[in-house]
Amino acid sequence: MACSVELKNVDKSFFTLRGRVDVMRGISLHIEPRELFVLLGPSGCGKSTLLNMIAGLEKPTAGSITIGDAVVADPGRGVFIDPFRRNVAMVFQSYALYPHMTVRANIAFPLTNLKPRPPAGDIGRKVREAARLLRIEELLDRKPAELSGGQRQRVAIGRAVVREPKVFLMDEPLSNLDAQLRTEMRAQLKELQRRLGITTVYVTHDQMEAMTLGDRIAVLNEGVIQQLGTPAGVYAHPSNVFVARFVGSPPMNLFEGAVKRDENTRVVLRTADGDILLPERLGADLVAQGKERCILGIRPEHIEPVAAGQGNFDSRISVVENVGSEYLASLFLKSGHIVVRAQHEPQPGPAGLRFASDRLHVFDAGARSSVE
Amino acid sequence: MARPGIPEETCKRILIAAGAALLLVFALSPFFWMLWVSLTSRPDFLFTKTVEYTLANYTNVLTSPTLHFTDYFRNSLIVASVTAVAVTLIASVAGYAVSRMRFPGRVAIPLFVLAMSMFPPISIVGYLYQWFSSLGLVNTHAALIFPYSALTVSLALWINMSYFAQIPVDLDRAALVDGASRMAVLFKIVFPLALPGIFSAFLLVFIACFNEFLFALMLTIDPFAQTLPVGIALFEGLHGEVPWGNLMAASAMATLPLVALTLIFQKYIVQGLMGGAVKG
Amino acid sequence: MRNKIAQARYERKETRDAYLFLLPLLALVIVFVLFPVLATSLNSLFRDVTYLARKFVGLSNYASLAADFDFQRAARFTCLFTAAAVFFEAVLGLVFALLLNESFRGRGLLRTVVLIPWAIPTIVSAKIWKLIFDYTYGVLNFIVLALGLSSEKINWLGSSISAFWSLVAAEVWKTTPFMVLILLAGLQAIPREVYQQAQIDGARMGRRLWRITLPLVWPVLTIALIFRTIDSLRIFDLVYVLTGGGPGGSTKTLSMLGFEYYSNDSFGRGSAVSVITFLLVFAVTIAYIKLGRFERSLKK
Ligand SMILES: Nc1ncnc2c1ncn2[C@@H]1O[C@H](COP(=O)(O)OP(=O)(O)OP(=O)(O)O)[C@@H](O)[C@H]1O
Ligand SMILES: [Mg+2]
């Protein structure tokens, strides 16, 4: 019984003692049944608030939210379904296990709230099933305080799956785990979600997690959706400077400057650190469009260090780091820190940088959104 | 740098020993004085230097039909228990709303209740006497239970709020999403976790009611409804002479349940007092 | 139009639930505290004695109180008594709290023992102290004679000055435990590292007390002082039993005066005294909050 989730023009404001705080504007999303949808954004951008609105823990100020074919919140029509009537399940960053209950009672808790309450035999069977699924059968009689972080995490997920909810909501469920466990749990979560086929909204601030987990991702910043698409699509075609910098690690390199012709009448981007030679096609396009200033973006792996004068741009490599399978070269420019990812060890000192001409991104200098 | 003379450690030890002795004498001597007198046949034993130990004071207080000790005790017990149970419930539900729900007045209401608790009893009791007289409530247990509840509910509310604040909000939210209604969240999650705090509030309210005097003096008239403090305050001998032995025996019996409660549940009482005061 | 109503209902659902949860509490406080206080305030503007018709008299109850010697004396006594009692409680409470904050053998026992005076009902403690001060049987007179401090027994409750100090002693005994507990909580909130750092910086015991402990415990002390002052300004039970307001009415408190008027069926004047008492309490509380400069911590 997989359900879609739909948000239409959702606004959210908080009314505090200090006045009104608008944290979310015009959010529209359609999440398909069975989809694993990731909300990605920096801290404080409103991810949790959005998730809480789907769960019913917060009320939207305007707009509507639909789960399956039931409207669960629509201030315009005075509709609001309480969280305990929505049949969604949520996993919290803090796990929120009930400290006074055993693991068994924790997992059984959502079932005991059903009306009518299922017979004890059914509850027991479902709890055991969930425990087997998550391999926590031997922990059932412990209290949460006696579990490790990873085990708590599993119990929280067990509590979420036991009721076969319409939607899973996960609020940074892995961020309290250490790096290794996180990678492992990430893969397991994805596998579990596939197997159960339950629509899932997953919140994270970790772009790596978003890229690896999501069927689709929405990048959120300051309460507005910046871009919506598949992880590969968002990575390849960031729609603005924010997304370009936020998705990908190390982040995309950006150069801001004026579109000019140099003494050889080639089109260049004149930056504070010198001229960057633009590929012919791109240069011609920009001139044709009459762009005077723009931001040029290129990912670290799309820059090749070459001899000075051989590339699009001449500069100095300051530091080279070996990160195992590859090298990261850093350049400290007036306009910021530039990183180059290389397979072969570059030498510090004067160097040319050659940009892969089909991988350049151009953003409007004013609107900071993608051109083309 | 180091000054010659007594090392700091020694100095400190001496101070601690002296302080401990002072504290023991300070806290215990009046208490033992009460017990001592209650166990002797004549209160002038210090001056006559002849002591005769006896339990007669106790048996007399318990059996005398004119002293009504058991009546007073029963009244105190009823009034204090009913009030404590009612206040605990009311303050818990209210504390939950204040610490967990969003509504206009969530800051103002606790402060309002706190401010109400600052009114001196004397500014309430006069009107209550007139009002209860006209209702025929004077000299009933209800005449005490209602005002006692109103006067102690602020303390209980603030204790509960300080305990509820320590329970992560995520637990409530998780329970709500797990299908528990607000009442279920309150009774299945918040209450069990805040039980020590709620119990502290219960004990403090109980003790406060057990000890209250002014309202009891004014709003009750005879041993049918009067409480222990009134009974003890108005305790007079037949011949104008204060029967100190009997009085101290009655005092000891009135005190021992409270001292026992305090010593057994010391942890809760201390935490309750701090929760109610420091947070307030 | 319909939309507006729907929207309002949507907004108010949680609010309505919350008020439902608060209803019993608010009803209790409003009916049995606020309402009587307001009625008392109103009543203080009336001539309200049982044997005469009730009549509006404006502020004349207050005017006659202001000129009344009994009232002036009760107001003065209440303030002086509060100042003395709270001062000694604070000093003694601080000493004991510092003591109990140290670690030594038997500390747990002392922490329990210190609660005993608190647990004893005020009326009982008043009776105990009455017997301690008793002219004929009192242990105090026994000690005074035994130590040769005086050649004959002293009538402690017989002169207004010694009665005053007897009351202060009994009050301090009963309420110091509260002070100790609150201050102990404040002391325990001071991180150990602060002391260790001060010790490394060469501060000796006395200096650590003055420069570190006292300033850090000050906010908690202010709160404890407020609570104790409020409580002391409205004292009734201890005085009623221990001295009965005597000798010659010299230890009557404002609450006792109000009670006397009520008992004599003079409700207008009793109400006026009550109003003055709570105005005094509020004035003192506000003064503390202003002086303690902790509006901010209260708001939090
Ligand atoms: N109850 C509230 N009252 C006022 N403002 C709030 C409230 N809850 C959240 N906010 C504000 O709303 C914004 C979004 O908060 P939210 O918790 O959704 O962020 P988030 O994206 O989940 O961040 P994080 O990654 O740190 O969890 C923040 O700026 C926060 O300050
Ligand atoms: Mg969050």
**pLDDT at B104 > cutoff 60:** yes
Over the stretch A180-213, which tens digit does the pLDDT of each residue have? 888 888 998 999 999 999 999 999 999 999 999 9
Over the stretch A117-127, which tens digit does the pLDDT of each residue have? 899 999 999 99
pLDDT of residue A33: 93
Integer Cα distance of B80 and B211 in angstroms: 9
ipTM of the complex: 0.88
pLDDT of residue B240: 65
Over the stretch C262-276, which tens digit does the pLDDT of each residue have? 888 888 888 999 999
What domains can you pick out in chain A, each with its CATH number? Answer: 5-246 (3.40.50.300), 253-364 (2.40.50.140)
The nearest CA of chain A is from the CA of B264 a distance in Å of 24
Over the stretch A222-260, which tens digit does the pLDDT of each residue have? 999 999 999 999 999 999 999 999 998 889 999 999 988
Chain B residues lying within 8 Å of A169, measured CB to CB: 177
Token pair belonging to C51: 């044997």
Cβ(C224)–Cβ(B88) under 8 Å? Answer: no
Chain A residues lying within 8 Å of B174, measured CB to CB: 90, 92, 96, 98, 159
Atom from ligand 1 closest to the CA of residue A45:
21
For residue A216, the CA-to-ligand 2 centroid distance in Å is: 20
**Sheet bearing A19-31, strands edge to edge:** A19-31, A5-16, A62-67, A70-74, A79-80
pLDDT of residue B237: 57
Atom from ligand 1 closest to the CA of residue A46:
18
Q: State the Rg of chain C over Cα.
A: 25
Cβ(B48)–Cβ(B161) under 8 Å? Answer: no
Integer Cα distance of C277 and B180 in angstroms: 48
Cβ(C82)–Cβ(B120) under 8 Å? Answer: no
Listed as ranges, residues in chain A with pLDDT below 70 are 1, 372
Q: Which amino acid type is present at position B213?
A: F
Query: Touching check for A88 and chain B: CB below 8 Å?
Result: yes
Looking at every residue in chain B, the average pLDDT score rounds to 87
Q: What percentage of residues in chain A have a pLDDT greater than 70?
A: 99
Q: What percentage of residues in chain A have a pLDDT greater than 90?
A: 53
Chain A residues lying within 8 Å of B178, measured CB to CB: 84, 89, 109-110, 113, 159, 163
Q: What percentage of residues in chain B have a pLDDT greater than 70?
A: 94
Among all bound ligands, the one having the nearest atom to the CA of A43 is 1
A330 burial (CB, 10 Å; 0-12 / 13-18 / 19+) is: middle
Mutate to test the interface with A, among C5, C7, C10, C13 (most CBs of A within 10 A): C10
Q: Using a 6 Å CB cutoff, which residues line ligand 1?
A: A 14, 16, 21, 23, 41, 43-49, 205
Q: Whose CA is nearest to atom 6 of ligand 1?
A: A14
pLDDT tens-place values along chain C, 300 residues long: 556 666 666 667 778 888 999 999 999 999 999 999 999 898 888 887 767 777 788 788 888 888 889 999 999 999 999 999 999 999 999 999 999 988 888 888 888 889 899 989 999 999 999 999 988 888 888 888 888 888 888 888 888 899 999 999 999 999 999 999 889 888 888 887 777 777 777 667 777 777 778 888 888 888 888 889 989 999 999 999 999 887 888 999 999 999 999 888 888 888 999 999 989 998 988 888 777 665 544 443
Integer Cα distance of A366 and A181 in angstroms: 42
Q: What number of other Cβ atoms are within 10 A of residue C276's Cβ? A: 21
pLDDT of residue A67: 94
B134 burial (CB, 10 Å; 0-12 / 13-18 / 19+) is: exposed
- Give every CB contact of residue C69 below 8 A, 6+ residues apart in sequence: none
**pLDDT at B280 > cutoff 50:** no
Which residues on neighbouring strands pair with residue A260, listed in sequence order? A268
Integer Cα distance of A270 and C84 in angstroms: 81
The nearest CA of chain A is from the CA of B103 a distance in Å of 10
Is the alpha carbon torsion for A164, A168, A171, A173 positive or negative? Answer: positive
pLDDT of residue B279: 43
DSSP state of A166: S
Q: Confidence band (pLDDT; 50, 70, 90) for B74?
A: very high
